[in-house]
Amino acid sequence: MPLVGSSAKTLAAASLIRAGLCDDADAGVLIIQQNSGSIDEMHELVIAITALSVRVLLATHGFDYERALAVIDQWITQYAKADQVAPT
């Protein structure tokens, strides 16, 4: 499967990303339930979500890879720090 193609999983991934943008957890859960019948289907969905998310991030930052990577690095640092101070 290509990272981004015209598969049903790519459509599901785009719909899931849209649900995330709209903060619609119910739609997100429904999309996941409908598109993850087997472990292989779930893998395809995760790959499609990742590929489309990369395109969304790049488009948002004018296809400036360095700027997009800086944003990701900032998020990684932030989440790593939050993980270190989170109660167990």
pTM score, two decimals?
A: 0.75
The answer to whether residue 75 sits within a structural domain is no
**For 11-48, how does the pLDDT look when each residue is reduced to its tens digit (9 = 90+)?**
999 999 999 999 999 999 999 999 988 998 899 999 99
The answer to whether residue 78 sits within a structural domain is no
Element (H, E) at 9: helix 8-21
Alpha-carbon distance 1 to 38, whole Å? 16
The answer to whether residue 84 sits within a structural domain is no
Domain residue limits at 14: 8-63
The answer to whether residue 73 sits within a structural domain is no
DSSP secondary structure of 52-83? HHHHHHHHHTTT-HHHHHHHHHHHHHHHHHHH
The answer to whether residue 70 sits within a structural domain is no
The answer to whether residue 49 sits within a structural domain is yes
Q: What pLDDT was estimated at residue 1?
A: 44
**The amino acid at 27:** A
Give the number of other Cβ atoms within 10 Å of residue 69's Cβ.
13
Q: How many domains does the chain have?
A: 1
The answer to whether residue 14 sits within a structural domain is yes
